[in-house]
Structure formats: structure tokens, C-alpha cells
Amino acid sequence: MTARLSHLLNGLRVATREMPHATTVSIGIWVNAGARDETAKEQGIAHMLEHMAFKGTKRRDAQAIATEVENVGGFMNAHTSREETAYYLRLLPEHIDLGIDILTDILTQSTLPDVEIERERGVIIQEIGQSLDTPDDLVFDLFARACYDNHNLGRPILGTVDSVSNFQRADLSGFMNRFYGAGQMLVVASGAVRHDDIASRIDASLGLLSDAKTAKRLLPVWSAGRQIVTRDLEQSHIVFGLPTKAATAPDRFALMALSTLYGGGMSSRLFQQVREQRGLCYSIFSFASLYSDNGVFSVYAGTSASQANEMLTVAADELASIAASVHPDEVTRAKAQLRASLLMSRESVSNCGDALARQIMLFGAPQDDAMLLAAIDDVNENAVRDMAAQLISGNRPALACVGPPTELIDNDDLGARLTA
């Protein structure tokens, strides 16, 4: 599968991944602006703007946008993260012109109708309420605050009821005008596509698009905080974590291998020690949230209040144990999982488009699959052990919990377990 990248004269980037055996196309526009780029008064505005893009343009109302895509069997969606907003469609190759026209229309000709703003405001407030009512959603927002305190990365992507209630049309158009420009946008198509054809079509549609500001992001300071919300629940939903490197760090593959062997599957240490050997929880896993300039390595688990501290100490002990010793078989198994995950993801046109977009947003160019596989193969026991040691060396953990009343282990005491 060939990945290519072109730059139009106005600075807009166009990338494709041609998949010879694909019979469908995924095409989308990624904007290098997300929740992290909001001002204090704009909390949630990137997400609301994502919703509003589908609510009417100069040529189409909201129903027409949805109907035209579904008339040809297409699928349309969008997402907002802390560092990006993406709008994308999946459809048959013969309808690529419609897909480009829809994307161009909603991102350059959106009218942001007042009636739709009020309607969507209510929808998002309901979405916020649903998140607050869902403990295994809420705990991750609390954990972000525990990690970053008042930095933008510590705020919920959805915003708050107060912030969303106050957005007006001028606020939405202001955010769009600041960031939705050629230099901040990337068009990605994958599947049954040809690069020159897609680039030509995008140039005809967006070649005159003006530029926009580059997002200026402040590096966060690790807060190592603690966020506890008491709820009348059967389980305590807990996340704890440590700061780590950015998504572009050369040793990120060692971090991936570490997360996999530590808490990435049924053979992982966390699953075996916490669930299988001690029966302390049903669900437990580790994960890394990596951004353009920093990252967090974390563990999530749901357990009873009476067993929460035992779960936390066992999880801490296992991470400390990895920093001391890793068996070659563990690393071999983790690398096999990473290789398989990468190759399996390449069978999906949507996954290929997502991966290509993220690579270009972070590195400025596509990453060759053979290079990625070679980097995974290069990971060894020393690299994994060193990565674990870096995580626990001098770093106080952050912690969040939603659940029944309990006296959870102090952050300092948990940190001491990590370095014991």
C-alpha cells in the first residue's frame, strides 16, 4: 500500500494511501485544532463546532447533508480530540465527488443557524449529563484534571454545562475562523483511490482556501493530583498514571511494548496478577495517552471499594517489577501483538486513513509500515525495562476515582510502592 503526500499552493496538505484490493473509499479532513486550543471561556467549543458543521450550509440544510450521503449508501461522522477535529466519510469510489463536495461545503460554507445552535446546545448538554452519569466515562475526565489541573489538557472535551450554555454564533465562527484554514488542515483519502486524482479534485475544491492561525500550545506541568467523586455504586472506577514522553518520541515502541505486556491483554501481568490470581476485578488494563509534546501512561480498573487498595498496590508492584526484570518471552509476545495489530489495522480503509492522518499531523510525513515493523522488532528486554524505570523514577502518580466511600492509598504512598 502506497502512501503519498502533496502540498497545494495555499498550504493545504493532501495525503492518500492506495489500497489495491479495496472496493470503498474513506475520505476526511483533519483540522489541527481541538479542545487543547480553546480559551478558558471556550471550553467545549471545538466539540460543539464539530456538531454544528453538519447542521446547515448555504446550499444544504441538516437533513439534506445526511440524506445525500445516505442516498448513495455512504457513512458520515466526525470526532473531536484534545489536539484535532476530524470530519470523514466512507463511500463507494464512484461517489467521491459527492464526498468531497459535502466535506468542502460543511467546512467552508457552514451557516451556523441560530435555531440549530439552540437545538444542538441541548443535545450536547444531554451528552455532558450522560457522561457525568457514566462512572467509567467520568473517571477519565477527572483523571485528566488530576494530571494537568487547570491546563487545557485537564478540561473535558465536551466542556461544561455553563460554557456550552453561553456559546453564541459569533463564538463558533470565531473559533472556526482562527483555525479552519489551509495550513491547519489535512485531507486524507484511503482505499480505492489514486493520489493524483484526489489531489486534483481537492485543488479544484479547496485550492483557494485561505490560511489560518497555527495553534500555539503551552507545555503542561504535571500536577500529580487527586480527584475523588463519591457515588452510590457497586464498584470503584479508578485510574492512576505517570507522565511519559510525547507521541513522537523515538522510544515510543518500547512504551507500546511495555503497555502490552503490563496490561494489554489476557496474558499481561495485570490481567494475570490482579484478575486471574487474586480476583480483584473484572476489567483492568494499561494504556498510553500520547500528545504532540507530552504523554501519560495509565492504568484503569473497576473493583470493589474494599479491594481498591490491594488492586492499586499490586498494580504498582508489577510495574516496579518490570523495571527490575523482564522475561524475553514477555517481550516477544508483546511485539507479536503489536505487529499483528498494525497489520490487521491496514485491512480497514478507515483505520488506514486515521493512521495516515495521525502520522502526518505528528511527523509531517507518512510513516512507512516496514519502518514501523522494524522499530517494533528492535525493542528488547532492556528497552522495556528502561522505559518502566523512566516512568517510576521520581514521578509522583496522579489518581482519580468514582465510587463508594473508601480511604484510598495516598498518592505519595502509591508512588513509594512504584519505586520500592
* Measured distance CA(288)–CA(298) in Å, rounded: 6
Could you tell me what percentage of the chain is helix, strand and coil, using 3-state DSSP and rounding each to the nearest 5? 50, 20, 30
Q: Within 10 Å of residue 21's Cβ, how many Cβ atoms?
A: 8
From the number of C-beta atoms within 10 Å of its C-beta (0-12, 13-18, 19+), residue 125 rates as middle
Q: Hunting for cell 511494548 — which residue is that?
A: 257
- Contact (Cβ atoms closer than 8 angstroms) between residue 254 and residue 334: no
User: What is the crossing angle of helices 114-133 and 135-148, to 10°?
Assistant: 90
What are the DSSP E strand ranges found in 168-255?
A: 185-191, 226-230, 236-244
Using only C-alpha atoms, the chain has a radius of gyration, in whole angstroms, of 23
50 included as an active-site residue: yes
Number of H helices, E strands in the chain: 16, 11
Q: Which residue is catalytic, options 18, 38, 42, 50?
A: 50
* Measured distance CA(239)–CA(12) in Å, rounded: 39
SS3 144: helix
First to last CA, the chain: 47
* Measured distance CA(288)–CA(241) in Å, rounded: 9
- The DSSP-derived string for 76-106 is EEEEE-SS-EEEEEEE-GGGHHHHHHHHHHH
* Measured distance CA(15)–CA(27) in Å, rounded: 10
Q: Which of left, alpha, beta for 219 (phi over 0: left; psi -120 to 50: alpha)?
A: beta
Catalytic residue positions, numbered: 50
